[in-house]
Amino acid sequence: MVNFLSLSSRSCEPTRIGIFDSGVGGLTVLEELYRQLPNESILYFGDTARLPYGDRSPAEILQFVREILVWMREQGVKMVIMACNTSSALALEIVQSEFPIPILGLILPTARAAVKAGRRIGVIATPTTVASNAYRQAVLEVNSTAQVWQVGCPEFVPLVEQNRIYDAYTRTVALEYLTPLLDQKIDALIYGCTHYPHLAPVLRSLLPEGVTLIDPAVHLAAAAARELDLLGLRSCTPALLTQFYVSGDPRQFSQRSAQWLGYAPTVEKILLPRFEPSQSTYLESVD
């Protein structure tokens, strides 16, 4: 069991929050963190050399997440936010027990928000997230009378990463994915992948007015704010400029993220440390 007591005694924490995703999807979470936690300094990592995560095996996802967390610990972040549903669905509980640092995921805060919007809930997510059933389980844990329909959307992440949001093809694919959920007359639709809010203009135009769109970023940022307060880790100094790192091409990431950030950030390429399973014991004992 991880003990955060030593962290809670700090009153003004100047260190960064680490957030990660496979690519530009995590920017939807970053924007929400800027809105809800304007004083927090952030370090963003995009595992662009290995995206998409959404059709990787659970073992691969766990390995990637462990490598990212080892690296983030080396950077001295005070909290890690998984801005990736696939990682949250597959690895959150395991790494929370391995790493002595607060780690937040998307699934539970989102499920709680979704059941407030109705009992007929649709989920669009990566095939790996859908196969994990994490959203169905989380929603039913909160309200056992809810009904959940999930659709895996393998084409969405490549379309977002290639910036093909307004292509006619994207609209056709979106309609195909949404049709089984519309047939079920859903009350709420969960963006079960952080890339998908980038498709909001297309998705919103295909959904009836009455369907509430649930963006995990909003609920994750609120959960992060609560956790920072609880642990006494809120920053009380103005935020530093966000640092961006990727495992793939930094220029490409900078160019692609500019449309959402409003500027082309400086992005650095890094090589993640290899994680060996024997390290988990070591990590628990490091303060």
Binding site for ligand DGL (CB under 6 A): 21-22, 25, 51-54, 84-86, 126, 129, 157, 193-195
Q: Omega into 52 within 30° of 0, i.e. cis? A: yes
Positive/negative CA dihedral, 150, 50, 269, 256: negative
Nearer to ligand DGL, 79 or 160 (CB): 160
Neighbouring residues of 110: CB distance < 8 A, sequence distance ≥ 6 = 135, 138, 190, 192, 214, 216, 219, 220
Closest contact distance (angstroms) between CB of 194 and ligand DGL is 4
Exactly one of 12, 153, 193, 236 is catalytic; name it: 193
Q: What is the DSSP string of 126-150?
A: -HHHHHHTHHHHHHHHH-TT-EEEE
Closest contact distance (angstroms) between CB of 82 and ligand DGL is 9
The number of angstroms, rounded, from the C-alpha of 248 to the middle of its chain's C-alpha atoms is 19
Nearer to ligand DGL, 54 or 122 (CB): 54
Q: What are 80's two structure tokens?
A: 């890690």
Closest contact distance (angstroms) between CB of 183 and ligand DGL is 24
Biggest distance spanned by C-alpha atoms of the chain: 54
Nearer to ligand DGL, 90 or 233 (CB): 90
Closest contact distance (angstroms) between CB of 86 and ligand DGL is 4
Question: Is residue 153 flagged as an active site residue?
Answer: no
Nearer to ligand DGL, 25 or 109 (CB): 25
Helices (H) and strands (E) in the chain, counts: 13, 10
The catalytic site residues sit at 84, 193
